[in-house]
Amino acid sequence: MENCAVVGVNWGDEGKGRMVDLLTEHYDIVVRYQGGGNAGHTVVNEKGKFALHLLPSGIFRDGVVNILGNGVALDPENLWREISELKAKGVAVTPENLKISERASLLMPWHRDLDALEEARLADKKYGSTKQGIAAFYADKYQKKTILAGELFYPDELYSHLADILEWKNLTLTGVYGAEPYTMDMLKEWVQTWCEQIKPFICDTVEYLHDAGEQGKSILFEAQLGALRDLDFGICPYTTSSNTLARYAPVGSGAVSAEINKIIGVVKAYSTCVGEGPFVCEMFGPEADRLREAGAEYGAKTGRPRRVGPLDLVATRYGAMLQDVDCIAVTKLDVLSYLEKIPVCTHYAVKGQKTDKFPFPALLAQAEPVITEVEGWNCDISAIRRWDDLPPQAKRYIEMIEAAVGRPVGYISVGPERDSIIIKD
């Protein structure tokens, strides 16, 4: 059986969760390999409508094992809240169907504080953080100043390690930001209240994934956010603090020897972006409001209105290259049905030069979109399930994406429900 990665080609919120939810029936294991609870996947299935933040989207399928890999920002507090919410709605979350890597680092309570303190310091130059502590977490992880989830099983070593980190972290909290220090009692309470709850799920997932590979089990790697938010290749510094690329999946998941046989890159039929930073094809005014309403574009975690724009072929081609996608899934095509003419960004103009190359971050703010209008289909397509039944204008829209990006489209979604999908050969 083949392994597959489902990744975002754009700025995130492309609809990866719905694609993973659809595809999980073909896989034994679903792994999250980077990021934290700062974004959200919205999944609509027979069990209801759910906003997942950290849990893998395979959690709804019986028999699927879900793994939070070593690369994620493991926030015990939010994870336990999310598990509790799902359980309350009748979804089974047990140590059999959820496994947390003992090598995942813990997002500490002060990471959220530091995130908010730094955004406040930056004032009008803020990065648009969701204030979930992700940047502060990864900074500390790479400084080797966090706790591994597996340390929770060794209280003596844990508390001695926590005391060392506490001393160091309080220097920053009080000295740099003038904030209140944490105490050991606060940390003990945090461990008791939140970390103890997730302890039953923590295990050696590297060994588990290795054995699963030997047994021929298949893995679906689930990414958070998109290529343009990748720490190394995205729109620095308005990226996330982890690598969102498919090629990072074996490392961040702990499936170190796994091959990725198929990469499905999710592209939204138009563009959206949450937070700050350059968004070249951004639309404003009533035109933008109409698209935002049609697509219900409000952040899954924060409720923030998303910035919207037409499909950006320049950014999409770059994102598809970074993700090395084998196949594109175009989502939310139905949202464009209200338009008679659909704007599409085909090129950028940078310092007066027309280009189809995605610019270096320092030049992005100067880039202007070059917009073309294509024929819309202007009718309801949400009940269509076959490629042949799509209106010719909708087919041409999809074929335009294939031609511009140079990769085939394999899936087209026309509604949020699991079965609102067209599979294109």
Rg of the Cα atoms in the chain: 22
Q: Does 413 bind ligand GDP (CB under 6 A)?
A: yes
| For ligand GDP, the closer CB: 246 or 414 | 414
Are 313 and 346 within 8 A, CB to CB?
Answer: yes
Sole binder of ligand GDP in the list 32, 141, 229, 332 (CB under 6 A): 332
Q: Compute, in degrees rounded to 10, the torsion defined by CA atoms 45, 310, 340, 352.
A: -170
CA angle 140, 161, 207 (to 5 degrees): 75
Q: Pull the structure tokens for residue 45.
A: 């299935």
| For ligand GDP, the closer CB: 165 or 336 | 336
Sole binder of ligand GDP in the list 3, 27, 41, 254 (CB under 6 A): 41
| For ligand GDP, the closer CB: 140 or 297 | 297
Q: Does 16 bind ligand GDP (CB under 6 A)?
A: yes
DSSP 338: G
The span from the CA of 75 to the CA of 300, in Å, is 17
Residues 274-313: x/- map of binding to ligand GDP (CB under 6 A)? --------------------------x-------------
DSSP 417: B
| For ligand GDP, the closer CB: 56 or 277 | 56
CA distances from 91 to 56, 114, 418 (A): 13, 34, 17
The span from the CA of 185 to the CA of 118, in Å, is 25
Q: Is 13 a catalytic residue?
A: yes
DSSP H/E element including 399: helix 392-405
With contacts defined by CB under 6 A, how many residues of the chain interact with ligand GDP? 22
Q: Does 14 bind ligand GDP (CB under 6 A)?
A: yes
Closest listed residue to residue 221, CA positions, set 249, 245, 255: 249
Looking up tokens 């309570």 gives 109
Interface stretch with ligand GDP, choices 39-47, 100-108, 125-133, 317-325 (CB under 6 A) = 39-47
Q: Does 18 bind ligand GDP (CB under 6 A)?
A: yes
Residues 333-372: x/- map of binding to ligand GDP (CB under 6 A)? -xx-------------------------------------
Closest listed residue to residue 351, CA positions, set 361, 365, 339, 330: 365
Interface stretch with ligand GDP, choices 10-18, 112-120, 211-219, 253-261 (CB under 6 A) = 10-18
* Least distance from ligand GDP to the Cβ atom of residue 19, Å: 8
Q: Does 32 bind ligand GDP (CB under 6 A)?
A: no
User: 3-class DSSP state for residue 179?
Assistant: coil
Q: Does 416 bind ligand GDP (CB under 6 A)?
A: yes
State which of positions 187-246 bind ligand GDP (CB under 6 A): none
Sole binder of ligand GDP in the list 17, 35, 265, 376 (CB under 6 A): 17
CA 300 to chain centre: 11
Pairing of strands 73-74, 105-106: parallel
Q: Is 324 a catalytic residue?
A: no
Q: Pull the structure tokens for residue 181.
A: 């220090």
| For ligand GDP, the closer CB: 50 or 233 | 50
The span from the CA of 4 to the CA of 322, in Å, is 16
* Least distance from ligand GDP to the Cβ atom of residue 58, Å: 13
Q: Does 39 bind ligand GDP (CB under 6 A)?
A: yes
- List residues with catalytic annotation: 13, 41
Which residues contribute to the site for ligand GDP (CB under 6 A)? 8, 13-18, 39-42, 44, 300, 331-332, 334-335, 413-416, 420
